[in-house]
Structure 1
Amino acid sequence: MEFLGCPAIFHESALIEFFANGSVRDGMIVSTIGGIAVEIRESVFAETFGLPTEGLTDLSEVPRNFLSDAQSLFSASENEVSTSCLKKEIKMQYRLLSDILAKSLFVKAGSFDAVTRDRFLLMTVITFDVKVNWGNLLFGVLKEMVTPDSRQAKGYAIQICVLLKNIPGLELGESKAFPAPRILNEKTVHRIISVNENVGIEEVGEAPTAKKTPVKKTMSKKRQAASEAEVAPVIKKKRSTKGKSAVTRRISLDKQVEDTTADDVDMIILQVISESTDLSSNKEDQGDKLVDEPDIGDDFGAWLESSFPGS
């Protein structure tokens, strides 16, 4: 696979060093890779890739008549477009040309809906075959790439590696195949066209609103049990005393907890505990008065019958 006549391979480690150490000095690009000095001049750059070195070096010098004709020719409607416009305002083939210039020559990432004035001028000189000093123009882009703190994206990976191979004694390291989707071929051109066809198209209608999933309210186990129409009997518990077997009794709470809340159930439990404590303390104060009343520690069942008749 080739890209503009160059093998579609690059050397990642060498490129990282090239950009990290690169700068512009006396009109040429200088850097170091593996301790070896690298110098790239404009003349060498243009000669290596066979770029024209005659013609316009300033795009503002594009003839006015060409510019006026381009404003009508590029327009997708009957009205002339401005030199700074949106891609949807120009014909499909010029949208494609704009993207090629942005992504390949000027190495801009992503897709832009705006056509800048400089890009419009370049589209004009290409369309009307105006002579341009492409060696000077593209070398200027490369100088911006290696300028420290420049906002220009890094690119020209294949071309830079071709230049570096001509430097004696320079080891470039392992090579990698350039990503196929980044190579301009029939497939990528069709993809760019399909993307540009949708530029400026507004969606009709609104997307259906997603139905909200109803949130099921849950109750705590305690409150859920209290709200049931029928309350299950309390689980049997064993109570052991000295010298006596544990007495087990089933307690039915149908009457007491009917139409009650969990707080009411809590109050009943607290009442039982409180009364059992009072019985123990009152026994010492009242003496013979409690002789006939059963002791809770002796017979829990008998105490329960006397304390809660009918339970």
Structure 2
Amino acid sequence: MASSYISNALQINFDSVLGIQDNYGMVNMFRALEATGLRGFLGCSSVLYEQELEQFFDTTLIEDGDITCAVSGKYVAISASRFAGIFNLSTDGLIDLSEVPNDLVLQARTLFSKSGTPVQFSCKKRLLKYEFCLLNDILAKAISVKAGSFDVVTHERFLMMTAIHFGVKINWSTILFEVLKEMVDRPQKEPRVLGLKFVFFLRATLRLLWERQQSFLP
């Protein structure tokens, strides 16, 4: 089961894409994506282990707002603050995307459009400039937990794209942690790529716990 997710793993090499010389629009999009605080999450190495991924979803429980799971035979409690620390995620900003300023959303309808004609909040991504088509795909694969067509820009992703482009602060720590908890609460549905990224977080957490334990040894 997990092998079908691994083929869709997403990792962005920000140093490479920010060095592109002949596409200002693309570079500007990645700079905005980096500035919003997602570099640690999207740029992390997705070293994936099917057994650990399946074990995570088989053993995970939500207790007092934290996520408890077993990885490599060890139980780990994952808090929102630990989640934010591992990926260096922002902890300030909007949690409710409907609060993205409406004037910016209206500007984005024209700015994102390939033809210059304002697009709808939910539209076919082929109507967008290439860099915003790519941004939609990145958000769909790495952040969204809801299934759907990659050919369509959802209202939620349009608001995310608007906030990212205009530099509106987003509390990615809370948003992504809630997405993960939603995945845990819906075990009958296949987890999306966030589960793949989360394997990195789990292994990093175990390493930190091991290092902390070693610091108490004589």
TM-score band, normalised by shorter chain: 0.5 to 0.7
Distance 1:48 1:78, change over 3 A: closer
1:115 aligns with 2:153: yes
In the alignment, which residue of structure 2 is the partner of 1:31? 69
In the alignment, which residue of structure 2 is the partner of 1:155? 196
Distance 1:97 1:111, change over 3 A: same
1:75 aligns with 2:116: no
Report the AA paired with residue 155 of structure 1: L
RMSD (Å) for aligned C-alpha atoms: 2.6
Distance 1:29 1:111, change over 3 A: same
1:37 is displaced (CA, Å) by 2.5
> Which whole-Å CA distance do the structure 2 matches of 1:37 and 1:80 have between them?
50
1:18 aligns with 2:56: yes
Q: Larger RCO: Structure 1 or Structure 2 (Cα < 8 Å, ≥ 6 residues apart)?
A: 2
For residues 201-240 of structure 1, the aligned pairs below 5 Å read none
Contact 1:103 1:109 in 2 (8 A): no
> Which whole-Å CA distance do the structure 1 matches of 2:183 and 2:196 have between them?
7
Report the AA paired with residue 66 of structure 1: L
In the alignment, which residue of structure 1 is the partner of 2:8? none
1:99 is displaced (CA, Å) by 0.3
1:109 is displaced (CA, Å) by 7.6
> Which whole-Å CA distance do the structure 1 matches of 2:163 and 2:58 have between them?
34
- Determine which structure has more spread, i.e. the larger CA radius of gyration: 1
Distance 1:110 1:68, change over 3 A: closer
> Which whole-Å CA distance do the structure 1 matches of 2:145 and 2:203 have between them?
16
Number of residues paired by the alignment? 169
Give the secondary-structure state (helix, strand or coil) at the position aligned to 1:29: strand
1:32 is displaced (CA, Å) by 2.7
Give the secondary-structure state (helix, strand or coil) at the position aligned to 1:77: coil
Cα-to-partner distance string for 1:192-217 (whole Å, 9 max, x where unaligned): xxxxxxxxxxxxxxxxxxxxxxxxxx
Report the AA paired with residue 133 of structure 2: R
What TM-score do the two structures reach when normalised by structure 1?
0.49
1:27 is displaced (CA, Å) by 1.3
Higher helix share: 2
Distance 1:34 1:158, change over 3 A: closer
1:45 is displaced (CA, Å) by 0.6
Contact 1:72 1:80 in 2 (8 A): yes
In the alignment, which residue of structure 2 is the partner of 1:306? none
List gaps (5 residues or longer) in structure 2: 1-10, 14-39, 212-218
Give the secondary-structure state (helix, strand or coil) at the position aligned to 1:39: strand
Contact 1:98 1:123 in 2 (8 A): yes
Report the AA paired with residue 163 of structure 1: T
Contact 1:23 1:148 in 2 (8 A): no
1:91 aligns with 2:129: yes
In the alignment, which residue of structure 1 is the partner of 2:206? 164
1:100 aligns with 2:141: no
Report the AA paired with residue 101 of structure 2: P
List gaps (5 residues or longer) in structure 1: 170-311
Give the share of equivalent positions with the same residue, in percent. 43
> Which whole-Å CA distance do the structure 2 matches of 1:138 and 1:18 have between them?
17
